[in-house]
Structure 1
Amino acid sequence: MPPVGHDDALCPARRLARMAGAGMTSPPASGHSRISNRELYAVAGMTSASAPMFERRRRILRETQHMLAEQGLGGFSTMELSRRSGVAQRTIFNAFGNRDNLVALAIRFYFEEFNLALADRFDVSTLDGALGKLTATTLRNLQLRNYMTAIVSLHFSPSAPAQVRAVTLAIGAGFFRDWLDNQRNRSLLPAEIDLGRLTRHIAHLEYAVINDWLVGAVEEAQVVDNMLQAVLEMLVGALDGDVRARLEQYLADVRESGPLSLQLKADGANAIAALSL
């Protein structure tokens, strides 16, 4: 097992952000995460390794995920986590450093399973694939109100630890990154637009749409259309040429609940129904 790099050992925020999943997704219901020993060794800052140690850390992460989904961040306590995972609180802090690192890591692995499950269904290097994955993810997130309340609260909290913000931002920024890279290669994304800043703004927008639902500003039935419309409006303002015209057509369709909008929702619902999570 390779040692943890010096920089990573000193900076858990950098470790977590580097390994964050792509797409603002939702937790696996089963809790059976595909966390490799190598990933767990690196991200959790382990300095020695054994099968029981890996399993103990996985058990702690699984229970953290379940507690966030059941109770949200406000109901999360390491004392209860200790009881449910069958380890001492000291063991939790020895394994993950502090509560913030633990929550950030659990969020990251929440997303990983869902992203892997959708990988074969949506090609996010294409506009249709990125929109399809965003739609499916939004539909799934609507089923997990407590979980999304925790994530959105963390994302917008001015006091959230840097490592938590890095994870939520990386997740939300991932939907359109590959497709926007392609547009830059085609010279359809103007040089003055910073790709990293644009994807961060898209992430903030996605979380804001979910927050509108959480606070009761919009009905659940409106959330997917609001999400698609908000993101398409931002992309229209950023892109040039034929792709901008295509985005404008898609935006008009969503505003009218046209065939594209209906197809995205149907494909998203089918993708969620087919998941074995």
Structure 2
Amino acid sequence: MAETVRPRAAAQPRKYSTPLIAERRKRILDETKKLIGEAGIDGFTLRELGQRAGVSVTTVYNIFGDKEGVVAHALREFHAGIKLNLPSQGANLAGYCRTICDTTEVVLENRAYALALADLYFSRSLSPTLFEVIRSMPLQVFVHWLWMAERDGLLTGVIRPADAETAFANLEWASVKDWGAGRIADAELAEVRQRSFLVIVKAMAIRPIAEAADALLAALSSPAGNTA
């Protein structure tokens, strides 16, 4: 039986704070993440999600509004749960590279989920809302560097930050796609992601920071393999 489609205009999530609703909410989000990894966003219905989470479809609608709402919440909550050790200075490029290595471990531990998101990022049928959520996921480290670099006067202004963010997000998700296709080994993924960061930093930053990025790129080519 086809799943009933609710009007999007009426899909407004309701807010609850009882322990029961909180526990149901967690189950729904956990199962949403699993289903995304197994079948992508289009590969499951709210009925299937409800069955796996042990709740009714009405409960899912009441808490999250609609399918796009529950998916967006699942993506944001997973991303928010990743602990980042971010440097306090824009010049600390090695610190940012260490954080990239840390987040690479999260990607490796959640392979199916990461690959499903990479496929969605490059899909033409993804809604603008979900595209922006997925686009933002690998940007937290880079955007933090942009904030610190602007604060510390480290940017040349030649490249617009918005353009750099788009380039970085594209590189990040393309790297995940290549990794999923076997073109990048597990042990190489952190290095590839560090390179993406350092190349863009080099293009945006004043000379001393660009030279520091160059030095770290050279270190990545050494037998040690990464800067962490």
- Give the TM-score normalised by structure 2: 0.82
Amino acid in the other structure paired with 2:188: Q
| Residue 87 of structure 2: aligned partner | 123
Compute the RMSD of aligned alpha carbons.
2.5
Contact 1:72/1:146 (<8 A) preserved: no
Matched, 1:147 2:108: no
| Residue 109 of structure 1: aligned partner | 77
Matched, 1:166 2:158: no
- Structure 1 position 200, deviation (Å): 2.7
Amino acid in the other structure paired with 1:123: P
Distance 1:202 1:186 in 2: 21
Matches within 5 A, 1:79-98: 79-98=47-66
Identity %: 25
Alignment coverage as a number of residue pairs: 216
- Structure 1 position 51, deviation (Å): 4.1
Matched, 1:183 2:149: yes
Distance 2:146 2:152 in 1: 10
Matches within 5 A, 1:46-61: 46=14, 50-61=18-29
Matched, 1:240 2:206: yes
Q: Deviation per CA, 1:191-211: give whole Å up to 9, x if none.
A: 242223312321221111111
Indicate how the Cα distance of structure 1 residues 135 and 49 shifts in structure 2: closer, same or farther if over 3 A, else same: closer
Q: Which runs of 4+ in 1 moved over 6 A?
A: none
Distance 1:238 1:89 in 2: 48
Distance 2:181 2:44 in 1: 21
Contact 2:94/2:216 (<8 A) preserved: no
Matched, 1:208 2:180: no
Give structure 2 stretches of 5+ with no counterpart.
1-8
- Structure 1 position 49, deviation (Å): 5.1
Indicate how the Cα distance of structure 1 residues 143 and 47 shifts in structure 2: closer, same or farther if over 3 A, else same: closer
Indicate how the Cα distance of structure 1 residues 178 and 163 shifts in structure 2: closer, same or farther if over 3 A, else same: same
Q: Which moved more, 1:223-232 or 1:99-108?
A: 223-232
- Structure 1 position 124, deviation (Å): 6.2
- Structure 1 position 50, deviation (Å): 4.0
| Residue 226 of structure 1: aligned partner | 192
Amino acid in the other structure paired with 1:158: R
Higher relative contact order (CA 8 A, sep 6+): 1
Distance 2:148 2:22 in 1: 39
| Residue 30 of structure 1: aligned partner | none
Distance 2:111 2:17 in 1: 36
- Structure 1 position 110, deviation (Å): 0.9
Distance 1:234 1:206 in 2: 12
SS of the counterpart of 1:176?
A: helix
| Residue 221 of structure 2: aligned partner | 255
Contact 1:152/1:211 (<8 A) preserved: yes
Contact 1:225/1:255 (<8 A) preserved: no
SS of the counterpart of 1:174?
A: helix
